Amino acid sequence: MSATLSAQCCVVGGGPAGLMAGFLLARAGVDVIVLEKHGDFLRDFRGDTIHPSTLRLMEELGLLDEFLRLPHHKAYELAAWIGERKYKAADFRSLGGRCNFIAFMPQWDFLDFIAAHARALPNFKLLMQTSAEDLVWNGDRVVGVKATGPEGPLEISAPLVIAADGRGSHTRAEAHLDVEDLGAPMDVLWFKLPREESDPDETFGRIVPGRMLIMIDRGSYWQCGCVIPKGGAEELRQKGLEAFLDSIAKATPFLADRVGTLTDWTQINLLTVQVNRAKTWSRPGLLCIGDAAHAMSPVGGVGVNLAIQDAVAAANLLATKLRLGTVTDDDLAAMQRRREFPVRVTQRLQLAIQNRVVRSVLAADKSFEAPLALRLLNAAPLLRRLPARLIGLGVRPEHIAT
Ligand SMILES: Cc1cc2nc3c(=O)[nH]c(=O)nc-3n(C[C@H](O)[C@H](O)[C@H](O)COP(=O)(O)OP(=O)(O)OC[C@H]3O[C@@H](n4cnc5c(N)ncnc54)[C@H](O)[C@@H]3O)c2cc1C
C-alpha cells in the first residue's frame, strides 16, 4: 500500500533548480513538495559557483547578508594562465553594486541555506531519500508522481510536476520528451589537492599544451578539474596514475610536492560532460527546468545559475495560477518561450569555446598560443566588461516577481 500525499506542485529533484523553484513557489503561497533521492546535499560533483545574477536574487529576497556569512571565496576576476603568462579574461567589479564577484561556495552549503529558508514555510515539504520512480497519468496528462521513500512507496498527486532531476532526468524520460545532443569534446577528472598558505590566492585556469586544469580555492584544499579529451579516461588509466600526476605537476609546478597525496584512481572522479537541450520542455501537467531541460557545458561555470534563473522564471510565471488552480498547457509552454533564448545563446558560446579553444589545447603537443580574443581581453580592461556581463549576469537575467 502506498502512502498518499497531495500538493499544488510536486518538484522532482532537490538541486539548485528544484530547491529554488520549491522555495519561491512556497514563498508565494503554493503548496509544494520537493523530492530528493539523496539523504543530504553533500555531493562533490556539482558546480561551486554562485554568480552575480544569483547574488542579486539573494539581495532581492533580502537574504544577501545572511548568505554571505556562509564561508565562501570571492573572485572579482577570472584569469587563465597560459604557460607562464597570466591573461585576465573578465572583471566582475565592472558590474557595480554589491554583487560584483563570483562567490565560490561548496554547493551543499548553498543548498542547505535555501532548504533551511524553505523549510521555515508551512506550505513547503522536502522529502529526502525519496526517489521519483514513475509518473501518474490521467489520459495524456501528468497528475502526480510515484516515489519510494525511507518508509516505502509513496504517491503524490499534483496538478503540476516540475522535473528538476538533472541532466539524466528520469522524469523527462518517463514523459517521453526527446533531447537534442549538442556534443562536447571533453570530460573532466575531478580531484582534491592540499592547499598551502603560500599558494596563489585565486581561482584560475591553467593551460599548457595537452592539459587544461581548473583550480578552485576551497581554503584548505584545491578542488581541481582536469579537462581531458572525451572518452579519454580509460587511456589515461592504462598509462598509469604516476604518468597522470606527473603531467599535473608539470602543468602546475607548485603542486609537484603534493600530487603524491593521490595514491589511487578512486580519489579521482570522472565527470562526463554533456551539452544538450530538450526539444519540448513541457507536457500537460509537467514542466522540465534546469539541467533536465538543458545540460550545460562546464565552460564559464554557468549551469547552476541558469538552473536558478529557470526556477525564478517558473515561479514568476506560475505561482499565482498554481495558487488559483488555473495553470494551462500554454502557461507551461510559455516557460520554454521565455527561457530557451538565454539557454541557446549561452550554449552556442560554450560550444564555440569548446570547439575552438578546448579542442585545440587538448590536441596541442607543442607551445600553445593564447587565442586572439584572450589577448585582446587582457590588453583592454574595458573589453573585460563584456565577459563579466555574459558570465556574471547571463542573457536576460530574471528578477524575483513573486
Ligand atoms: C564537470 C562539470 C563541472 C561543472 N561546473 C559548474 C560550475 O562550476 N558552476 C556551475 O554553475 N555549473 C557547473 N556545472 C553544471 C551544474 O552542475 C549543473 O548545471 C547544475 O547542477 C544543474 O542544476 P539542476 O538543479 O538542474 O540539476 P542537478 O544539480 O543535477 O540536481 C538534480 C537533483 O535531482 C536529484 N534527483 C535525480 N533523480 C531523482 C529522482 N528520480 N528522484 C528524486 N531526486 C532525484 C539529484 O540527486 C539532484 O540532487 C558543471 C557541470 C559539470 C558536468
- Order of strands, edge to edge, in the sheet holding 9-12? 124-127, 32-35, 9-12, 161-163, 286-288, 282-283
User: 338 to each of 63, 174, 276, how far by Cα in Å?
Assistant: 26, 24, 18
By alpha-carbon position, which residue is closest to atom 51 of ligand 1? 298
Going from the Cα of 279 to the center of ligand 1, the distance in angstroms, rounded, reads: 19
By alpha-carbon position, which residue is closest to atom 35 of ligand 1? 13
Check residue 45 and give its pLDDT: 58
* Dihedral of alpha carbons 33, 34, 37, 38, sign: negative
Confidence of residue 367 (pLDDT cuts 50, 70, 90): confident
**Counting atoms of ligand 1 from 1, which one is nearest the CA of 310?**
26
Q: Are residues 343 and 319 in the same domain?
A: yes
Enclosing domain of residue 258: 186-229+231-271
Task: For ligand 1, say whether the CB of 170 is within 6 Å of any of its atoms.
Answer: yes
Taking the model in full, what pTM does it have?
0.94
Q: Are residues 165 and 68 in the same domain?
A: yes
- Tell me the C-alpha distance between 398 and 394, whole Å: 10
Query: Can you give the CATH number for the domain in which 199 is found?
Result: 3.30.70
For the cut 80, the answer to whether the pLDDT of residue 350 exceeds it is yes
Q: Are residues 168 and 259 in the same domain?
A: no
**For the residues 291-308, what does the mean pLDDT come to?**
94
Most confident region among 37-51, 68-82, 139-153 by mean pLDDT: 139-153
By alpha-carbon position, which residue is closest to atom 18 of ligand 1? 303
Going from the Cα of 376 to the center of ligand 1, the distance in angstroms, rounded, reads: 33
Query: Can you give the CATH number for the domain in which 311 is found?
Result: 3.50.50.60
Going from the Cα of 382 to the center of ligand 1, the distance in angstroms, rounded, reads: 33
Check residue 134 and give its pLDDT: 97
Check residue 358 and give its pLDDT: 87
Q: Are residues 92 and 214 in the same domain?
A: no
Confidence of residue 44 (pLDDT cuts 50, 70, 90): low
In a domain, 198, yes or no: yes
| The one-letter amino acid at 163 | A
In a domain, 399, yes or no: no
Q: Are residues 217 and 325 in the same domain?
A: no
| Closest to 11 in 3D by CA, of 399, 341, 40, 30 | 30
In a domain, 398, yes or no: no
Q: Are residues 171 and 209 in the same domain?
A: no
| Closest to 177 in 3D by CA, of 293, 54, 42, 56 | 293
In a domain, 30, yes or no: yes
Q: Report which of residues 179 and 358 the model is more confident about.
A: 179
- Tell me the C-alpha distance between 230 and 272, whole Å: 8
In a domain, 397, yes or no: no
Residues 246-286 pLDDT 10s: 999 988 888 999 999 999 999 999 989 999 999 999 999 99
Residue with cell 537574504: 63
- Could you give the number of structural domains in the chain? 2
Task: For ligand 1, say whether the CB of 300 is within 6 Å of any of its atoms.
Answer: no
**Counting atoms of ligand 1 from 1, which one is nearest the CA of 147?**
42
Q: Are residues 235 and 294 in the same domain?
A: no
Q: Report which of residues 281 and 107 the model is more confident about.
A: 281
Q: Are residues 257 and 301 in the same domain?
A: no
Q: Report which of residues 288 and 47 the model is more confident about.
A: 288
Residues 112-130 pLDDT 10s: 999 999 999 999 999 999 9
Q: Are residues 88 and 162 in the same domain?
A: yes
Q: Report the percent of the chain where pLDDT is more than 90.
A: 75
Strands, DSSP E only, in 195-262?
204-208, 211-217, 221-229
The residue whose CB lies within 8 Å of the most ligand 1 atoms, and thus the one to mutate among 104, 304, 343, is 304
In a domain, 401, yes or no: no
- Contact between residue 262 and residue 193 where contact means Cβ atoms under 8 Å apart: yes
**Which range is least confidently modeled, 209-213, 300-304, 313-317?**
209-213
Number of residues that this document lists for the chain: 402
- Order of strands, edge to edge, in the sheet holding 102-104? 49-50, 102-104, 73-75
**Counting atoms of ligand 1 from 1, which one is nearest the CA of 304?**
11
Bridge-based pairing of strands 161-163 and 9-12 is parallel
Q: Report which of residues 170 and 366 the model is more confident about.
A: 170
In a domain, 402, yes or no: no
In a domain, 280, yes or no: yes
Confidence of residue 37 (pLDDT cuts 50, 70, 90): very high
* Last residue within a domain, chosen from 239, 254, 271: 271
**For the residues 236-247, what does the mean pLDDT come to?**
94
Q: Which helix (H) or strand (E) holds 32?
A: strand 32-35
By alpha-carbon position, which residue is closest to atom 21 of ligand 1? 304
**Counting atoms of ligand 1 from 1, which one is nearest the CA of 130?**
43
For the cut 80, the answer to whether the pLDDT of residue 348 exceeds it is yes
By alpha-carbon position, which residue is closest to atom 16 of ligand 1? 303
Check residue 393 and give its pLDDT: 94
Confidence of residue 346 (pLDDT cuts 50, 70, 90): very high
Most confident region among 69-83, 202-216, 267-281 by mean pLDDT: 267-281
Residue with cell 589511487: 264
* Last residue within a domain, chosen from 221, 256, 271: 271
Q: Are residues 62 and 164 in the same domain?
A: yes
**For the residues 217-245, what does the mean pLDDT come to?**
91
Q: Are residues 63 and 128 in the same domain?
A: yes
**For the residues 136-140, what does the mean pLDDT come to?**
97
Task: For ligand 1, say whether the CB of 48 is within 6 Å of any of its atoms.
Answer: yes
**For the residues 179-206, what does the mean pLDDT come to?**
88
**Which range is least confidently modeled, 200-209, 232-241, 284-293?**
200-209
* Last residue within a domain, chosen from 271, 303, 321: 271
